[in-house]
Structure 1
């Protein structure tokens, strides 16, 4: 095995561990904005409606599959297929050439293996990935005290995981950049986790209390950390505040 050989890592294994080696035709893909264009008679150009989201991208790894000594190609391909198709959900996908970030992707497409020569085969491995990529250094939860500023180093907002202990003695308030989230006493005492990406809130990892926290007077909202500095404060009913900021950037 060549030292420094580029690879991708998915479902607990590196591609080079499966005798898959990256070719030189790697492409970068910019996500497409989810827009609707309506044509109107008598009007030049379309009316554009922005759905305020980006579409998933297809991240394709052009690989060379090297035949493993003492193993049939059919068995080798079956093992690779099981490895890639086992997760039926978005899972962490890391590319060694950009080690500070990872994608969240799923492998579900049909794949054809092209016969190149007897012991080498070309294969393109496509992953459907979320349109954002995540920083590894934003995945760890750290303690936060009320009033402290948290800096988002990326140019887009992040959707954090926020966990704290709530006394349940009275309604509490979590404030992020002036935006208030009222935690109703009906949420109940215990450890509360808010997962902004999933849009849910739980007490003690079981009871779904999303409506008691995320439903505000102006609608259903989740905490976000904007680019740059974010001031986070909370009332005394909240203690042991931990935040995993989940910094992210537009995927490429």
Structure 2
């Protein structure tokens, strides 16, 4: 890296509409953030000057960055508490800056999701006692993955949110980020939305308590805390 990666806060997804006879503008806040374009300036060095040059090294780098599909994990070494979901969709280019093709200079144009996820937020928390709380360390509601182990009809209380589960026979996962509920039968993912009533819960700011009615042996939570 030629210099530290930029530290960018995502743009809030809002729309401003001017109204005749009104000062300023009306603001429609969609409650979301836009994706971020973040260029990281880098040098590229030939690993073996006797047998290769910058073009050969660049080809390997291009192949590595472009071969991945979908969102991939991006972590900066000077911000190791967080990780991001990023991709390299745009063109890549390196310019020779020193004699004999030994050094190239360019930038990696990452496009990333607006969230910077807390590394510790993907660790599973196991809850076996009613009233157990999880504390969100950030200032944004997170979209957790919650797996309920139990049987029969269960009413789950996550903070002030209520989710009703009907006829549970296998562990059921409520994935708020995906907007989906499912179970696993013999290693095969099976949709279970028909067993779930009410919206899937977020984890709010501060403490969120977990309670339930019915036969529950344990609850596993991946909180997915994040910031911008």
> In the alignment, does 2:14 pair up with 1:30?
no
Q: Which of 220, 223, 239 in structure 1 is aligned with 2:201?
A: 223
Give the corresponding residue for 1:175.
157
Corresponding position of 1:111: 92
- Distance, in Å, in 2 between the alignment partners of 1:40 and 1:52 is 22
Measured in 2, the distance between the counterparts of 1:98 and 1:26 equals 10
Q: Structure 1 CA distance, aligned partners of 2:124 and 2:97?
A: 47
Aligned residue for 1:135?
118
| Kept after mapping to 1: 8 A contact 2:183/2:191 | yes
- Pick one of 149, 171, 177 that aligns with 1:165: 149
Residue matched to 1:147: 131
Matched residues, number: 220
Q: CA deviation at 1:25?
A: 5.7
The corresponding residue for 2:191 is: 208
Distance 1:120 1:73, change over 3 A: closer
Structure-2-length-normalised TM-score: 0.89
SS of residue paired to 1:110: coil
2:104 paired residue among 121, 125, 149: 121
Which sections of structure 1, spanning at least 5 residues, go unmatched?
1-21
Give the alignment's Cα RMSD to 1 decimal: 1.7
Provide TM-score, normalisation by structure 1.
Answer: 0.81
Q: Could you report, residue by residue, the CA deviation over 1:77-112 in whole angstroms, capped at 9, with x for unpaired residues? A: 221112112222111101100111111111111122
Cα shift readout 1:9-46 (whole Å, capped 9, x = no counterpart): xxxxxxxxxxxxx1126322121111111222222222
- The CA deviation string for residues 41-64 of structure 1, in whole angstroms up to 9 with x for no partner, is 222222111111000111221101
3-state SS, counterpart of residue 238 of structure 1: strand
